[in-house]
A and B are shown apart, each in its own frame.
Chain A
Amino acid sequence: MLEITNLVKRYGSNDPVLKGLDLAVDGSSVVSIVGASGAGKSTLLRCINGLVESTSGSIKLNGHELVNLRGGALRHSRRRIGMVFQGFNLIDRLSVMENVLSGRLGYVSLFQALTRRFPQSDIDRAFNLMERVGIAHYADKRADQLSGGERQRVAVVRALMQEPEILLADEPTASLDPKTSQQIMSLLQSLASEMSLPVLINIHNVTQARMYTDRIVGMRHGQMIFDGAPKDFNQDALDAIYGGIESPEEDGGDPGKQSPQDQEVTA
């Protein structure tokens, strides 16, 4: 259960990118977040797992406060939140198996991480998940030898390896062709119900949002202006969110690039 209350994110003294957002996500629903580039979708997701530091407000995951955490507490909270990225963000030179196991880095010791001696339970979980998504035969292949869709599936497994309480996906299909996009969206949808996992998906493609998710949240200029079922997401809603910007059906713009303030490795 994710509860966001009055979340504000401001860079320096500029206009806030997120203006007092409220959102509650339950149980195993799949929620899509739509909006034009710059609406704050990426920032919202990154505030949840702390890749971006929230300015004020509260984010509670199953009762634990996530805002203003540092060091060990931040890492502990991050490992309970799985994230899938638009650019897949796999470690290209490592094998698929190592990429998948890297999802457990929040749980194993430094020595285990260095020597790749992960507990057998992790390895079992890895094989099971890889078989579930259909990439088990790639286990020892280098990650950069896979196609886009396959890489994203590896990324999904990596996120699931964390045994997360929630899954965040930041434009997971924006770099994929239409058919592969649908496969990934369908995969996310099934996994959500199989694992009773809430899933938050940033997405450009409103058609896919309607097809594969239970609830659509629309953002514009850092505020939420639509929250409802896909069937209620009509032309008016579309205009309210995208009106005067660009048509969401075309693949437009690139979502939230990291600003320099956030490029620090300090965990």
Chain B
Amino acid sequence: MIPVRTATDAPTGRVWKKPPFIANPWVRYGLIAITLIYLYWAFSTLPFDWARISEGLPRAAKIFGGAFPPSFERASLLWTGFKESFQIAFLATLLGVFLSIPIAVMAARNVAPLPVYLLGRTIIIVSRSFHPVIVAILFVAAVGFGPVAGILTLTLYSIGFVAKLLAEEIEEIDWGQVEAMRSVGAGYLKILIYGVFPQIMPRQIGLSMYQLDSNLRASAVVGIVGAGGIGGTLMNAFGRYDYDFAFAILLMIIAIILVSEGISGWVRKKVW
């Protein structure tokens, strides 16, 4: 059945086009041009060893063939490696979270005088600037191979994250509670304990759990540069072309991360 044309269908002579996402045509086409130019420039200046790359797929086949099935023969090595990673993550989280509290207080503008605030912020920025792997290399160079370097690295890593977020949390507390504590005649520390800490406690716990999880992942990686843990075991396996063992290690890492995520999620729900 053909629909009947009514008055509302009468041609109006008006056109409509969707207004483009970016209004200014210069900006719009400019962005597209820049993106294309960038892609061309990047791909042409980057060094690709095509010969080696073309060997890639057959290599991949060989590696995956060698990796499957995963070998758990050297389970004791696996166990020691993971145990060490756990220990590094555990100690680093404790130390890091413990140190983060005073540093966060120092780095919160509303509870710290200016010079202390600047010091606190600097500590946090320094802790965050470098990838934990780089920090691990430096600590290894300084204190030698082994878990000590790993613990120091991850402690710094924890401070960079936890202290920063905690400081931001402190800066957003309800100031009235602090005023009330001042008005009863409490000193600086008592004001912190009663007026500030109860307000940031839930966040602190959440952050600590998140950081434990984060440190567990990171501990697997700092081992790659010699700072202890399963990362070292993994590097050895790769170096010896023991791909089936390496695959086993990888599977364990994934499994542990999943479990840890699950636990930390559960604990966060309980404690919130």
Asked if B195 and A91 sit within 8 Å, CB to CB, the answer is yes
For the complex, give the distance between the alpha carbons of A77 and B181 in Å.
Answer: 14
Interface residues on A, range: 35 or more
A93 touches B188 (CB 8 A): no
* A258 close to B (CB within 8 Å): yes
For residue A167, give the distance in angstroms from its CB to the closest CB of chain B: 11
> In the complex, how many residues of chain B place their beta carbon closer than 8 angstroms to a beta carbon of chain A?
28
Q: Restricting to B185-214, which residues have a CB under 8 Å from any CB of A?
A: 185-195, 198-199, 201
Report which of B179, B187, B192 forms a contact with A85, defined as CB distance below 8 A.
Answer: B179
CA A79 – CA B40 in complex, angstroms? 72
Interface of A is mostly: loop
Q: Is the CB of B199 within 8 A of A106?
A: no
Contact status B182-A89, CB under 8 Å: no
Assess whether A93 is in contact with B182, with CB atoms less than 8 Å apart: no
Contact A89 B179 (CB under 8 A): yes
Interface residue? A9 (CB, 8 A) = no
Does B179 contact A158, Cβ atoms closer than 8 Å?
no
* Min C-beta distance of B199 to chain A, whole Å: 7
* Contact indicator B179/A51 (Cβ below 8 Å): yes
User: Which A230-267 residues sit within 8 Å CB-CB of chain B?
Assistant: 258, 263-267
Q: Is the CB of B177 within 8 A of A90?
A: yes
**Judging by beta carbons under 8 Å apart, are A162 and B185 in contact?**
yes
In the assembled complex, B110 has its CB within 8 A of some CB on chain A? yes
Q: How far is the CB of A118 from chain B (nearest CB, A)?
A: 12
A93 in contact with B201 (CB, 8 Å): yes
Within 8 A of A (CB), among B131-189: 174-189
Contact A265 B178 (CB under 8 A): yes
Contact B110 A263 (CB under 8 A): yes
Chain B interface, DSSP helix/strand/loop, else mixed: helix
A113 touching B113 in the complex, CB below 8 Å, given contacts A79-B184, A85-B180, A89-B176: no
Complex CA gap A85/B180 in Å reads 8
Name the residue of chain A whose CB is nearest to the CB of B191.
A265
The answer to whether A91 and B194 touch across the interface, beta carbons within 8 angstroms, is yes
- Find out whether the CB atom of A78 lies under 8 angstroms from the CB atom of B193: no
Interface contact A105-B184, CB-CB below 8 Å: yes
Other-chain residue from A82, A88, A113, A159 in contact with B194 (beta carbon distance below 8 A): A113
- A211 at the B interface (CB under 8 A): no
Partner of B187, one of A51, A94, A114, A267: A267
Q: Which of A88-107 contact B (CB under 8 A)?
A: 88-94, 102-107
Q: A202 interface residue, CB < 8 Å from B?
A: no
Which of A75, A162, A258 has a CB less than 8 Å from the CB of B179? A258
Q: Which of A142-192 contact B (CB under 8 A)?
A: 155, 158-159, 162
B184 touching A267, Cβ below 8 Å: no
**Could you tell me the distance between the alpha carbons of A103 and B186 in the complex, rounded to whole angstroms?**
9
A78 touches B188 (CB 8 A): no
Question: For the complex, what is the distance from the CA of A93 to the CA of B183, rounded to whole Å?
Answer: 19
1/0 per residue B77-103: CB within 8 Å of A?
000000000000000000000000000
Nearest Cβ in chain B — how far from A142, in angstroms?
Answer: 10
CB-CB contacts below 8 Å: A49-106 with B: 49, 51, 75-83, 85, 87-94, 102-106
Contacts of A80 on B, CB cut-off 8 Å?
Answer: 185
Q: Give me the 10 closest cross-chain CB pairs, A-B, nearest first.
A: A106-B185, A79-B185, A105-B186, A89-B180, A78-B185, A89-B176, A83-B183, A93-B198, A75-B185, A105-B190
Q: What are 16 A-B residue pairs whose CB atoms fall within 8 Å in the complex? A: A51-B182, A75-B186, A80-B185, A83-B183, A85-B176, A91-B194, A93-B198, A105-B181, A105-B184, A105-B185, A110-B190, A113-B186, A155-B180, A162-B184, A265-B188, A267-B188
